[in-house]
Structure 1
């Protein structure tokens, strides 16, 4: 599956991108209501945690699983990524969470990738679609970190 290959490549490339950013730039908040690059990476960790759980539930169940959203800003606030983590610790967390997802998806069958889930807006999508959406979401935020 090409998405898994792309995902694996990102797990290798994204740390290089993040490590090139100076710490002061990574921690900079342009305004109180905008996430810093550090908080965006924290958000990607939250996304990994939530999506790992979704992927596992879908694979382990034969019936369509309902997928709920989560309160992103509250997760950022509760974890306080801005003050509780160094860039290297947060990057290590992001890598490990995504390696866990990679291992789950490598062990998924074609049948698993075609299993359905129900989004909060009641649309039915497959695990394949949800994983591709996870990748798109990650790339969107990595572009924000790079800018």
Structure 2
């Protein structure tokens, strides 16, 4: 978990400045009305961060695996990232990930295998360790959409 946490922190520090360097026009551009802009993709990563932060915290202490689902399209629309200030979205992305880093780096090892239910209609139980690894892989996948070729990662 510590290796994943450190990798997350390194990515956040490396990409905070790179994200600011993307022009406002490119950050807000949409290939079509049904696709997210780069700013909305970063907003999605913020929302994913919020949901995973809850999983990483609640999963450590709740007696039953917490059931924390994430409706990504609803969250992105509800947060209206497209109308937000670019700098605010980047700062919020950095801050939520620094918080996740803190939770992961301080998580006791005996909690790594505790589970969380992420399924909307079924029990999709995953260990906190799996969720942390998956979270960083997911982050890399979407950062590749914003800054192509940044990572060699395949995420479905």
> Does the alignment reach a TM-score above 0.5?
yes
Q: Which structure shows the bigger proportion of residues in helix conformation? A: 1
- Is the Cα contact below 8 Å between 2:48 and 2:70 reproduced in 1? no
TM-score of the aligned structures, taking structure 1 as reference length: 0.91
C-alpha distance in 2 between matches for 1:54 and 1:118: 9
CA distance in 2 between partners of 1:124 and 1:97 (Å): 24
Counting only pairs closer than 5 Å after superposition, residues 23-38 of structure 1 correspond to structure 2 as: 23-38=24-39
* Residue 137 (structure 1) aligned with residue 138 (structure 2): yes
* Kept in 2: contact 1:27–1:82 (CA 8 A): yes
Task: State TM-score, norm by structure 2.
Answer: 0.86
Aligned-residue CA RMSD in angstroms?
1.4
Alpha-carbon distance, 1:65 to partner: 1.2
User: What are the residue-to-residue correspondences of 1:6-21 with 2, within 5 Å?
Assistant: 6-21=7-22
Aligned positions of 1:1-147 closer than 5 A: 1-61=2-62, 63-83=63-83, 85-120=84-119, 121-147=122-148
Q: CA deviation at 1:64?
A: 4.4
- Give the conservation status (yes or no) of the 8 Å contact 1:116–1:127: yes
Q: Is the 8 A contact 1:64 1:115 kept in 2?
A: no
Aligned residue pairs total 145
SS in 2 for 1:42: helix
